[in-house]
């Protein structure tokens, strides 16, 4: 997978969990985090901290289920590409 495929998927979905990305692209979560990091550095993606996990305080949830990413490109700048 290349970064543009990830970009296109994020643009289409707007907000996704890491788990959704793992399933969609069939890639290791750590590899996806690295690619997401590139888009975060460019200011195109934001990692969102959920207000709460799954609703319990057991801390046994798979982090990929609660790790959220959102495409955050400023629409006013997208016309200048």
Segment 28-81, tens digit of pLDDT:
999 999 999 999 999 999 998 766 555 556 666 666 677 899 999 764 444 444
Angle between helices 18-25 and 29-41 in degrees, nearest 10: 110
Rounded CA-CA distance 37/61 in Å is: 22
Task: Please give the CATH topology (third level) of the domain spanning 3-73.
Answer: Arc Repressor Mutant, subunit A (1.10.10)
79: exposed, middle or buried (Cβ count in 10 Å: 0-12, 13-18, 19+): exposed
Q: Encode pLDDT of 7-33 as tens digits.
A: 999 999 999 999 999 999 999 999 999
For tokens 């959704």, name the residue.
20
pLDDT of residue 49: 77
Q: What is the pLDDT of residues 46-57, one digit of tens each?
A: 998 766 555 556
User: How do the domains of the chain map onto residue ranges?
Assistant: 3-73
Please state, in angstroms and rounded to a whole number, the distance separating the CA atoms of residues 66 and 50: 7
């Amino acid at each position: 997978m290349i970064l543009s495929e990830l970009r296109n998927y994020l643009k289409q979905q707007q907000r996704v969990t890491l788990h959704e990305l793992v399933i969609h692209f069939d890639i290791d979560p750590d590899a996806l985090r690295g690619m997401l990091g590139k888009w975060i550095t460019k200011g195109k993606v934001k990692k969102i901290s959920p207000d709460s996990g799954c609703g319990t305080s057991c801390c046994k949830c798979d982090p990929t289920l609660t790790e959220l990413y959102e495409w955050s490109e400023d629409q006013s700048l997208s016309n200048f590409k």
